[in-house]
Amino acid sequence: MILNKLLLLILILNILFLFTNAYVNNDIREIIANIRKPPTYFNFKSIANKNEIVEFKILLKQNNLNILEDKFWDVSNPKSLNYGKFLSSNDIDSIIAPSKEDVQIVIDWLLDNKMLKSEMIIFSDFIQIRTNVLKASNLFFSEFGVYQSELSKKERIRIIGEASIPIDILNKIDLILGLSDFIEDNKMSENMRQSRLDVKSSQLSISPQVIRDYYGIPNGSIGVNSKSSQSIGAFSDYYSSGALENFDQQFSIENVRVINLGSPSCFGENCGQLESDLDIQYMTSIGNNITTYFLESSNGQWVLDWCTTIQAFEPMPSIASLSYSWIEIEQCEITQDCYNLGINSLVYIQRTNVEFQKIGLRGTSIFVSSGDDGAPAFYSVSGNCPIDGINGYCPFGGCEHTTSNCPTITIVNSNYTETPNCFYPANQMGVACRELIIVPEVIDALSTFQQINTHCNFQYENDQFGNTHIYSNCSCEDLTPVSGEGFKMVGYSFDPSNGPIFNPDFPASSPYVTSVGATEIYQSPQPESVCSIESGSIITSGGGFSVTQSQPYYQIDAVNNYLQQQSSSSSLPSFGFNASNRAYPDISLVGSKFSIVQSNNISSDSCPCTMISVDGTSCSSPSIAAMFSLINDKLLNAGKSTLGFLNPLLYQAAKESPNVFNDIINGNINCNRMYCCEYGYEAVTGFDPASGLGSIVYSNMENYILSQK
């Protein structure tokens, strides 16, 4: 009798087990990633040694995301009774964290595959793993290889071919970072470039004091509250403490406090330095005497990694500045391959935006550079924005001609059906052109095309920086085509169906960050204008409309006003953007001719050093972020909460007290870093996607914010 009851109990327990969420080791697996070939800008080097260390993050599915977003908007709305009533990390976890049972299922799967608990760091909604290649290979049924960046020469370990996981684990996970993602570090860090020295203009040379004077920061304004904090995020880039010390000496900056958030220096590992030197020098000099945290994300990581890392610190910095961006619809290139857990650019963006909301709910303001390639963008774009051969040909000078009747040719690749058209030279860094212009037959055809079109005086010209431009005194349709095996070369003809003309950047296009554009400032009386290669800068400030993200409530009126002003503009075709989506940047600040100090040896942390001049939205973001750090300091001294997510307050201020902004009404963002397009966004009265709401009048902005909190 007892035996029968025992057998019955065992049977019941087995049935219950089958109907629970417990991890069951089974053979049904799902492919989560598949690297069929190295992505653009990367080469496969070798099979990874089984003892090499790999790191990856398993991002678990989150709950109640609608509730999280409602709370985010509530605490960020100046008209709400809950404005500034931020949440703790525990409060946020109680809303969205997966169940303990689901987390344990994933942990059991890892343990069952010989992962040690010491190799895991378990957070509320993700698990960080550091293990060897052998264990990772067994876990994902995949080989791992070493890949090298063509530009930075940095290496990373990623899967070869397919990776898979059990189907019951798949249901618990959003995505996995570190398996198949590729980020090209040099491309991400070029939101700053060395200034042009050839242009004689009335642009001011920028120093911390020039910024303070121009934007009206009172002399002696420094942080005094011990709880004030600000931060810089960097990717495979590190600042030189010797250069920072030299900068402080040259500009008489005192009371600089920088704390590295667990980031080891990457000097000697081929990482960059210039970007972080700029960021740290201007954030600490404008937001002086405020504790500044520096968080460097390692080789191959991107903004979602930064989000998960910064949230682990308690307390979190009140201000964060990121000087990095990448094409919004190509986040999938960063998280290659697009089949990773069903991931595509939109999935990556959505998860990142959730993390931005969590950061905002903790009371942190995020500032992001809007990009340095205008509305058209440059890397991995279609190139289908027609170059302006009349008003924008060879903008850097150095070409024999100043106009061209056909500045672009089309190379049609009949063997490459996914991206058949290379629009040269505008698309030279895109996939289509990179596939073609390395082929010997195509290289020969470029020469042949020039020879058979001598009647049009067709020629390839180089500007002073070596960029290629195409001159023709004939129209494109009058050029004689050249055909080869698998390709055809013809004069360019614009067709909207051949690819987007505008290419917004992410995370600048996120509705949950404050996007910062760049301006140029001059000797009076010339007004502040949008930063562009047409007006003497080495970059063009980024901006536009998101492809994937809806327009947030706070900017609807501002965008509608802009669209009404531009309704008859020939440079703004309706097919080029979605007017109901998020528009950016939100604000702007000077971003040209910044004086910074760099170490003569970029792999060293010390001087000898040199003063140089740089341009970029990377100049603008940390500088304006530091201004709001000073305002945060005033709020804390008054016993009030920090700013948190800033945008609803900024757009409200533009309506209620427009004198908080310098309205930028000069310039456009039709160009990228090399070429100028016929289409783009112009600066107009009020908000526009070239300059946002404008730059700030510091004292007026400070007074307005203190009256609202």
Q: With beta carbons less than 8 A apart as the criterion, state whether 164 and 127 touch.
A: no
Residue 370 a catalytic site member: no
Q: Which two tokens stand for residue 14?
A: 């087995």
Short-list 115, 110, 134, CA closest to 48: 134
What is the phi/psi pair of residue 238, to 5°? -145, 145
- Which one from 125, 168, 181, 279 is the annotated catalytic residue? 279
Give the dihedral sign, CA 76/77/79/80. Answer: negative
Say whether 665 counts as a known binding-site residue.
no
Instruction: Report the half-sphere exposure of 216 (CA within 13 A, side-chain side).
Output: 13
Residues ≥6 apart with Cβ < 8 Å to 666 = 527, 528, 529, 530, 683
Q: Tokens 């810089």 identify what position?
A: 232
Say whether 663 counts as a known binding-site residue.
yes
Q: Which two tokens stand for residue 161?
A: 């071919």
Say whether 444 counts as a known binding-site residue.
no
Q: Where are the alpha helices (DSSP H) in 396-533?
A: 431-436, 440-452
CA dihedral defined by 226, 214, 322, 559, rounded to 10 degrees?
120
Residues ≥6 apart with Cβ < 8 Å to 57 = 126, 127, 128, 129, 176, 177, 178, 305, 308
Please list, residue by residue across 630-669, b when 16 or more beta carbons sit within 10 angstroms of its beta carbon and e when fewer do: bbbbbbbeeeebbbbbbbbbbbbbbeebeebbbbbbbbbb
Q: With beta carbons less than 8 A apart as the criterion, state whether 542 and 505 touch.
A: yes
Short-list 394, 16, 340, 397, CA closest to 182: 340
Residues ≥6 apart with Cβ < 8 Å to 262 = 295
What is the phi/psi pair of residue 35, to 5°? -90, 100
Q: Coil, strand or helix: which one is 688?
A: strand
- Which one from 618, 621, 623, 691 is the annotated catalytic residue? 618
Please tell me the chain's helix, strand, coil percentages from 3-state DSSP, rounded to the nearest 5: 30, 25, 45
- Pairing, β 319-322 against β 229-235: parallel
Interatomic CA distance for residues 616 and 350, integer angstroms: 27
HEC string of 432-450 equals HHHHHCCCHHHHHHHHHHH
Interatomic CA distance for residues 539 and 193, integer angstroms: 7
Interatomic CA distance for residues 382 and 388, integer angstroms: 16
Short-list 634, 627, 544, CA closest to 581: 544
Residue 618 a catalytic site member: yes
- Which one from 102, 275, 328, 373 is the annotated catalytic residue? 275
For residue 165, how far is the Cα from the chain centroid? 30
Instruction: Report the half-sphere exposure of 101 (CA within 13 A, side-chain side).
Output: 6
Q: Facing residues of 469 across strands?
A: 461
Q: With beta carbons less than 8 A apart as the criterion, state whether 141 and 61 touch.
A: no
8-state DSSP, 122: E
Residues ≥6 apart with Cβ < 8 Å to 138 = 113, 114
Q: Tokens 């890949």 identify what position?
A: 147
Interatomic CA distance for residues 374 and 393, integer angstroms: 16
Residue 633 a catalytic site member: no
Say whether 92 counts as a known binding-site residue.
no
- Annotated binding residues, as ranges? 663-664, 686, 688
Residues serving a catalytic function are 275, 279, 618
- Annotated binding residues for Ca(2+), as ranges? 663-664, 686, 688
